[in-house]
Amino acid sequence: MEGIHLNHIWVSICMVFATVACVFPCVAQDASPSQLSNDDRAMLLSLIGNPLTDPAGKQYCTVTITARSCWGSSQEFETGAWYRPASDMGSARVYFLDNDWISTPTQLATRDFVNESRSLLE
């Protein structure tokens, strides 16, 4: 896959906002995930893997991708993703929030997802 379509970007943005709306109110009140109601916990766990990518075994990173429109224009931009190194599960890939993936690009900048998320709450 050479690039990612704009509709994938909008789906990813909507999923991020939905996840943040469900998770961060609890985090902002110093509540741990174990303090979520059973219904909230079930809903959150149901999102991991389908439609959201499961970050287990992956490293958060920034990659430059090309977004293309149906009118033939394109634009490069940086976005956050999850890098999975090559293993017995397959070749190295970069996964986006919506489980879409690309082969690992030549330039990849790893980032600390947990600390960056904590800094947003402070």
User: Tens digit of pLDDT for each residue in 27-42?
Assistant: 445 545 557 788 887 8
Query: What is the arithmetic mean of pLDDT over 81-102?
Result: 87
Residue 15 has what pLDDT?
A: 52
By C-alpha distance, which of 108, 102, 104 is closest to 8? 102
Q: ∠ at Cα 40 (35, 43), nearest 5°?
A: 135
Q: Is the pTM of this model over 0.85?
A: no
Asked if 3 and 68 touch (Cβ cutoff 8 Å), the reply is: yes
Q: Count of CB atoms within 10 A of residue 41's CB?
A: 13
> How much is the pLDDT for 27?
46
Kindly state the average pLDDT of the residues 12-19: 50
